Structure 1
């Protein structure tokens, strides 16, 4: 057990006597396996989603990309609501369980409504309904399972970034296996078999979470259990009102998946309202240091749509490019295109332990790069990945598979400098009563990136578009990412100052602990006064 766990006041985390494995609380590894199976289901289904639309429902590429962009963006919008409900009522544990049940229903529904090829009608609407269950379920689960990881550690624990890298490796273990199994079943046996396998994976994740929940040692319980179960005037408790609201949200998501243009407007409105609420609440209630940290977190959040808009070509235009323009033959056998969706998580699994160990080593030496600096390098790498393809694709004939693999290698390294660091930063920089909200906002920004990814993918297609159009678009976004990354590297020192890392472990405001917004501070306490740095 590390010194930071033994000494000094604790701002969160599991009890000091809790069992550890490889230096981390055992609850981390329970969450690792639960998230592994949830990601198995999500990425397995994502690997065949566009193919299912184009090869089974016979969509053309641009409408298929529009559905894909709407679905993936909605998956990241709903965590803002799930994070808020978790903060105020449910607690992350109940939210994760609720989300897992809804996701399982969605996957299994998709597997059961398949109709003959080319037949849309009720079968297509049933498919959209299944996507809607997954969208709402992910809203409850996605932000809150990451919050649970963060709550296992005090805010200044040096193991936090390493813990999120381990957790991220669990995500990508599921993301690696999912396309191999779901993709093989969907493309070669039958689409319903692939989607059914994804549903079984989610059920397994639920089983792990329920059976091993004791490893959390009470972390993630409802903030006010009595409030959650008290009956309201209509005779239902807030908990049951939330469940009924989830059913209503499924119906709304069902309509939105079929009306993709509305999603863009929803993203703009949601972003303005959410950021405005966070700033207003922070200005009114937080001391200067905590307010600065919120500003730093919002800067990181603002970069998220730009990164994911480029990175998330993976499941749409890059997936179709791999299917149509890449030489996938191996010893006389053609590799399913969906299997290339496992290349990125393979690199994440391989590189995550190295990155996790590197951050811990550099942190102990006082030389770890800041989150903003890591983000800048991540943007440069994702841009460089596209240049691997634009320069590696031959003028005529099929692109060698090694080119796509190298592209994913660059993108994977960029992802490790972006996603786990972003998850850790949201839980580190936000105050206790806003952690779920900030995590939800992080995923809201990711939603915007996924929607923009759909727009970029549509620019690569269209009537008469060929491989030249795809490579031209990739070249432009590659230059954009590299230029933006350089700008972020220049700004990184200024953003780091806003984080006040020297006093991060001190709850310099009651809100950083257990007090709920709106409660009065202790008598004589000036809530606008920041504490002095630690000696």
Structure 2
């Protein structure tokens, strides 16, 4: 590398450091339970955005495989489960687009706003009764919109705090509470309306939720967020912006044409599309790692931290593969294999989707308090991830117990499903908020939003994997399915725990 190029990189890094300091100084640092006022804005924006997303998700699988006479689309059950996983994968995969545009063109704050608009129109499309066409239109809008919003709102949160601020991890835990309050309320409200009255009315409520998220964000961001999200981390030169938009438009046009041709010729089917997403779920994260690692804008120390991030990423894929099956395999299990008349009441299968966020709301403060109490003695990032994998594996193993006791054909007491969700949540609290914080700390400075996109790609990869795994799930091999996945997760947790001291040396002082 030439001396001039090195000098430019050093100058750029110094400029970014100065920008970070300006952002922190511009944000009111007190006003929301000892945290910056901006945490209020992001907390409630994410609350309503998650209400819309998880409300839609609570009834999506049922909407797909319920018969037309029951208000559904009448899709084959196994195909519906695979489509739900592919959809979830694409939602997180699209974070690449949102992260790149944020880092290079318009910043994280605008990314949140544009994403919210697209998501709202996606839910409106789902709320319109009619055809499979509207279903796929809504999926495209929600996929792209979430890709804009999801990585960028976490990036804005990270920018409000100095990188050495002791409140940082606690802030992500509080933010995570907002996520889960929305996710808890949504299945109870949207699920009840969608399952008992009309699916489209339920999707309409999800659209209203996203509208309220936009109202909160627009009304409070100027006062509470300061400059957070307004700086472009790695801006394109003005002369290159027009070229970039031209290329993006050209590529989008080619993709639309190719899809139209493939569908008309029968080359692109639901099955082949599921397989394609499975491949992309593996290939894209690898390319992303290589791109950031080889970039001249990534310093030697930042490359070391990227190496340390790899086992965390793999662990995250395994964890989310299990956790995300809560809205596919376990949702189907709740609908088909669980006693829904229990303790004198009828339980809607959609209500089980509220268990995960409910347990997080209750136990997140306890886990957060525990990390603060332990201080410098708390487990490392890698060790916390290993605990997450351990509990995720156990959550699937516990599903085997009722089948062993009562046989694979008897309806299962709903409390077993409650226990499974609970165990998985303990693992999630060890991994997910910690993963958000680790990502912002280990990210190369030139790729802050894109690194957050990479974190969400672990979920995309997990759900792409699930789209293949659900093909093996049948009532006949239920025990083998849950048992195999559970044991694999537990074994990986042990391996990761053993690697934790070595990984800490690669993190270069980040704890």
TM-score clears 0.5? yes
TM-score by length of 2: 0.87
1:405 aligns with 2:431: no
Q: 1:161-203: CA deviations, max 9, x gaps?
A: 1111111111010110111111111111101001111111011
The 5-angstrom pairing of residues 45-444 of structure 1 reads 45-55=56-66, 56-112=72-128, 114-115=129-130, 123-214=131-222, 215-223=224-232, 258=270, 259-281=273-295, 284-363=296-375, 366-393=376-403, 394-395=406-407, 397-444=410-457
Distance 1:479 1:224, change over 3 A: closer
Structure 2 residue aligned with 1:483 = 491
Q: 2: distance between equivalents of 1:43 and 1:332?
A: 27
Q: 2: distance between equivalents of 1:20 and 1:14?
A: 15
Distance 1:224 1:408, change over 3 A: closer
The 5-angstrom pairing of residues 508-523 of structure 1 reads none
Aligned residues: 476
| Structure 1, unaligned runs of 5 or more | 1-8, 116-122, 505-535
What displacement does 1:497 show?
Answer: 1.6
Contact 1:39 1:174 in 2 (8 A): yes
Contact 2:42 2:217 in 1 (8 A): yes
Q: 1:313-359: CA deviations, max 9, x gaps?
A: 10111101111111121454311100000001000011111112222
- Please identify which structure carries the higher helix content: 2
Q: 2: distance between equivalents of 1:197 and 1:253?
A: 31
Q: 2: distance between equivalents of 1:253 and 1:46?
A: 25
Contact 2:402 2:412 in 1 (8 A): yes
Structure 2 residue aligned with 1:448 = 461
Contact 2:104 2:235 in 1 (8 A): no
Q: 1: distance between equivalents of 2:241 and 2:326?
A: 46
Q: 1:67-110: CA deviations, max 9, x gaps?
A: 11110000010101211111111110000000000000000011
Query: SS where residue 24 of structure 2 aligns?
Result: coil
| Structure 2, unaligned runs of 5 or more | 1-17, 67-71
Distance 1:90 1:163, change over 3 A: same
Q: Which range moved further: 267-276 or 485-494?
A: 267-276
Q: Which range moved further: 53-62 or 401-410?
A: 53-62
Q: 1:108-159: CA deviations, max 9, x gaps?
A: 01111x23xxxxxxx1121011011000001100101011111111112221
Query: Runs of 4 or more off by more than 6 Å in structure 1?
Result: 224-234, 238-257
Contact 2:234 2:447 in 1 (8 A): no
Contact 1:228 1:239 in 2 (8 A): no
Contact 2:297 2:446 in 1 (8 A): no
RMSD over aligned Cα, in angstroms?
2.8
Structure 2 residue aligned with 1:37 = 48
Distance 1:243 1:175, change over 3 A: farther
Q: 1: distance between equivalents of 2:156 and 2:315?
A: 24
